[in-house]
Structure formats: C-alpha cells, structure tokens
Amino acid sequence: NAGVMQNPRHLVRRRGQEARLRCSPMKGHSHVYWYRQLPEEGLKFMVYLQKENIIDESGMPKERFSAEFPKEGPSILRIQQVVRGDSAAYFCASSNPGTGFWEQFFGPGTRLTVL
C-alpha cells in the first residue's frame, strides 16, 4: 500500500520559469492538502482540494500560484514565474473521506530551489 507520492523530489528552476509539483494521494484518498515549509520555519497551509474542487485556498499567494486535483491523475501545484522567495519544501498530504480531513498522511516533499 503505497503512501503519498510526490515528484519530483528536487526541482531546480531559474527565476521566471514555471514549476510544476505533483502529488499522488494514497489509494482511496480523495482529499489533498498542500503545505509550504520555508527554511527554518514550520509548515504553512496553502490549499485544500477534493476531486475537481478547491475547498479552501486561504493560504495560497494571490498571484502566480495555482492548484488543481483533476478527476483522474495527480494533484498539481503550479508556480508561474518563480522568484527566489519561492525556494522551499512543498509537502502534499492526503486523507480518506471516511476518516475525515484530520487524518492527514504526508508525502516526502518536493524541494524547490530557484536560482
């Protein structure tokens, strides 16, 4: 039973490029959450999605960031025109609707470096 999978594990981008981060939730999980961890800080909530719906995006920066969780395939966090301040670890978590949204299982993260 595979856990939450994220790829790539490491991503290097130059300023102005686009970054696409993928998250495949655990089998049977239809809720996905994205968190960002800046250096020396705790995780900060970004967005909560269910299949084809954004439930809570209160933590998403207003510009350049978007997220989706299509009916088929992984959830994608997209960062357009990256800047150095976007360098961080991005974690995805998933949960099972049967056990609710508080039982979140985390992936290993994608570490984004912006040059």
Partner 1 sequence: AQSVTQPDIHITVSEGASLELRCNYSYGATPYLFWYVQSPGQGLQLLLKYFSGDTLVQGIKGFEAEFKRSQSSFNLRKPSVHWSDAAEYFCAVGLYNQGGKLIFGQGTELSVKP
- Give the shortest CB-89-to-partner 1 separation in angstroms: 9
Q: C-alpha angle with apex 65: 39 to 103, nearest 5 degrees?
A: 65
Q: Which is nearer to partner 1, 14 or 39 (CB)?
A: 39
- Give the shortest CB-16-to-partner 1 separation in angstroms: 28
Contacts with 41 (C-beta within 8 Å, 6 or more apart), sequence order: none
Applying CB under 8 A, the residues found at the interface with partner 1 are: 4, 31, 33, 35, 41-45, 48, 55-56, 58-59, 91, 93, 95, 100-109
For 54, half-sphere exposure in the C-beta direction (CA atoms, 13 angstrom radius) is: 13
- Give the shortest CB-81-to-partner 1 separation in angstroms: 27
| Six token digits for residue 86 | 């976007």
